[in-house]
Amino acid sequence: MPSFPEKFLWGASTAAYQVEGAYLEEGKSLSVVDESIAPEYADTSIASDHYHRFKEDVSLMKELGLKAYRFSIAWTRILPNGRGQVNQAGVDFYNELIDELVNNQIEPIVTIYHFDLPVVLQKEYGGFSSRKIIPDFIEYCRVLFELFGDRVNYWLTINEQSNMFLLPYLISFTENSDQSKLKQKYEMNHIMTLAHASAVKLCHELLPNAKIGPALGISPIYPKTCDPKDILAAEKAEELRNTFFLELYCNGRYLPTMQAYMRGNDCLPTIEAGDLTLIKEGKCDFLGINYYDSKTVEHVTEQDRTKELVINKDGQAGTTEKEVVEGVYKGCSNPYLERNDWDWEIDPIGLRVTLNRIYQRYQLPLLITENGVGAIDTLTEEKKIHDTYRSDYLKKHVEQVCFAIVQDGIEIFGFCPWSFIDLVSTTSGFRKRYGFVYVDRTDTALRELTRHRKDSFYWYQGVIRSNGKVL
């Protein structure tokens, strides 16, 4: 296997609400995710207690050999009222974290917004359903660029804008609105795109040497069969779930075919004068890719009615119910792929498919910002975690990244698996773990939150040491 480029950013990722805890400490206010994580699981109040243990965590990163660490900043820690007064304790925390990383030669990669809108702004004007969010978001970005831009070279604007619209639990709708939920979604998507583009422009203005882009959540879409009806369903699903967002970010436009879809479904967003120019001007320097699985679809019949995805939150295999988008596509499973207990289909080649599809169209440098497998880990009496399923999953994905670089000529400058350490899963608490480092707690028992290196920790250490030669 040929090797990875020199200076390849072998990293790992987390997000503030999932790892930090201290959710109301030292001036922080609540975000919408702090409030919405399902009550049957661990909440975000303590999470992995990273807020208090970040030095120990960074020393584990150093031992692992990380070249980069992707984390998010909590808007609610920096600006507890959403705007205005800056919370010095929050600034101190991120300053110390960034210094600790830089002093250990670990490149900080900062996500500005990872689902965690301040509750105050949701209450005041409905968050991203109002254009009032744009100046507030820009102010938040300005604070981050001014305070941390001297040490942070890589910025991610918004995490998985697409999933906020495709999954049923990541955004709030306005009750009693005269707009349909679909229309509200497209309005919010438009406003979020404006916020993203404004952040990109501001970053270029204030930090000309920094690089900025979005973190996209992408699952490539496959047709169930070669029946042209299934092919068309897959083309349309790919457009609705992936290309739509990519075209907005990279070409600053609503595809004509998407415009027809939105008109037909009465969900065209309100586009004001200057919006499209702004979106075009916010040119990304790179694209972050969050990749976990692929999706397969088949054609819909006239009887098929729209149905929302039912997520398997408990890890009881087989309980996911795929969504149907009336007149467009119907989700189905892929008989060629294995799946984890949460029914996520494991598809390493799908990562290479994704990288090819995106790079062929946009030729922007790519950074893998998330990739990993959620599983129930067991801590043995000897305090070991034998998670070969995790290193197997990652090994197969790293191989495909290598093929994409070497054989397909795609510019990929880093790989940041999800996640560095165990954390609160967005859907399933602590039952579903992703980390290289085990955190000794469960959803119900807090225990000591002691950190233990999993077998995958040592595996990844070897990968990084050999720059991807030893998998």
**Which residue shows structure tokens 């987390």?**
14
The CB-of-19 to ligand BGP minimum distance in angstroms stands at 10
For ligand BGP, the closer of residues 160 and 238 by Cβ is: 160
Q: Which of these ranges, 40-48, 80-88, 176-184, 424-432, lies near ligand BGP under the rule CB under 6 A?
A: 424-432
- Can residue 294 be called a binding residue for ligand BGP (CB under 6 A)? no
User: What mask of x and - would describe binding to ligand BGP in positions 7 to 26, judged by CB under 6 A?
Assistant: --------x--x--------
For ligand BGP, the closer of residues 122 and 159 by Cβ is: 159
Q: Which residues in 96-135 contact ligand BGP (CB under 6 A)?
A: none
The CB-of-274 to ligand BGP minimum distance in angstroms stands at 31
Asked whether 443 and 42 are in contact (CB, 8 A), the reply is yes
**Separation between Cα atoms, residue 142 and residue 151, nearest integer Å:** 15
Structure tokens at 348: 């390493």
72 preceded by a cis bond (ω within 30 of 0): no
The CB-of-13 to ligand BGP minimum distance in angstroms stands at 8
- The DSSP bridge pattern shows strands 211-217 and 287-290 to be parallel
Q: Which residues are annotated as catalytic?
A: 370
For ligand BGP, the closer of residues 19 and 248 by Cβ is: 19
Mapping DSSP onto H, E and C, the string for the chain reads: CCCCCCCCEEEEECCHHHHCCCCCCCCCCCEHHHHHCCCCCCCCCCCCCHHHHHHHHHHHHHHHCCCEEEEECCHHHHCCCCCCCCCHHHHHHHHHHHHHHHHCCCEEEEEEECCCCEHHHHHHHCHHHCCCHHHHHHHHHHHHHHHHCCCCCEEEEEECHHHHHHCCCCCCCCCCCCCCHHHHHHHHHHHHHHHHHHHHHHHHHHCCCCEEEEEEECCCEEECCCCHHHHHHHHHHHHHHHHHHHHHHHHCCCCHHHHHHHHHCCCCCCCCCCHHHHHHHCCCCCEEEECCCCEEEECCCCCCCCECCECCCCCCCCCCECCEECCCEEEECCCCCEECCCCCEECHHHHHHHHHHHHHHHCCCEEEEECCCCECCCCCCCCCCCCHHHHHHHHHHHHHHHHHHHCCCCCEEEECCECCECCCECCCECCCECCCEEECCCCCCCCCCCEEECHHHHHHHHHHHCCCCCC
Number of residues that bind ligand BGP (CB under 6 A): 14
User: What mask of x and - would describe binding to ligand BGP in positions 334 to 373, judged by CB under 6 A?
Assistant: ------------------------------------x---
For ligand BGP, the closer of residues 111 and 243 by Cβ is: 111
User: What mask of x and - would describe binding to ligand BGP in positions 248 to 287, judged by CB under 6 A?
Assistant: ----------------------------------------
Structure tokens at 449: 């939150």
The CB-of-227 to ligand BGP minimum distance in angstroms stands at 31
User: What mask of x and - would describe binding to ligand BGP in positions 371 to 390, judged by CB under 6 A?
Assistant: ---x----------------
The CB-of-219 to ligand BGP minimum distance in angstroms stands at 10
Can you say whether the dihedral through the CA atoms of 366, 282, 200, 129 is positive or negative? Answer: negative
For ligand BGP, the closer of residues 41 and 261 by Cβ is: 41
- Can residue 427 be called a binding residue for ligand BGP (CB under 6 A)? yes
- Can residue 242 be called a binding residue for ligand BGP (CB under 6 A)? no
**Separation between Cα atoms, residue 415 and residue 112, nearest integer Å:** 19
Q: Which residues in 432-461 contact ligand BGP (CB under 6 A)?
A: 432
Residue of the chain from 425, 430, 459, 468 that contacts ligand BGP (CB under 6 A)? 425
Q: Which residues in 138-197 contact ligand BGP (CB under 6 A)?
A: 159-160, 163
Q: Please give the residue whose beta carbon sits closest to ligand BGP in the complex.
A: 425
CA torsion, ordered 20, 26, 29, 35, to nearest 10 deg: 40
The CB-of-44 to ligand BGP minimum distance in angstroms stands at 12
The CB-of-316 to ligand BGP minimum distance in angstroms stands at 14
Structure tokens at 299: 């054609």
For ligand BGP, the closer of residues 140 and 418 by Cβ is: 418
User: What mask of x and - would describe binding to ligand BGP in positions 45 to 74, judged by CB under 6 A?
Assistant: ------------------------------
Structure tokens at 214: 């979005």
- Can residue 418 be called a binding residue for ligand BGP (CB under 6 A)? yes
- Can residue 400 be called a binding residue for ligand BGP (CB under 6 A)? no
Residue of the chain from 129, 193, 198, 290 that contacts ligand BGP (CB under 6 A)? 290
Q: Which of these ranges, 44-52, 141-149, 350-358, 426-434, lies near ligand BGP under the rule CB under 6 A?
A: 426-434
Residue of the chain from 21, 90, 108, 217 that contacts ligand BGP (CB under 6 A)? 217
The CB-of-226 to ligand BGP minimum distance in angstroms stands at 31
Chain residues that interact with ligand BGP, rule: CB under 6 A: 15, 18, 159-160, 163, 217, 290, 370, 374, 418, 425-427, 432
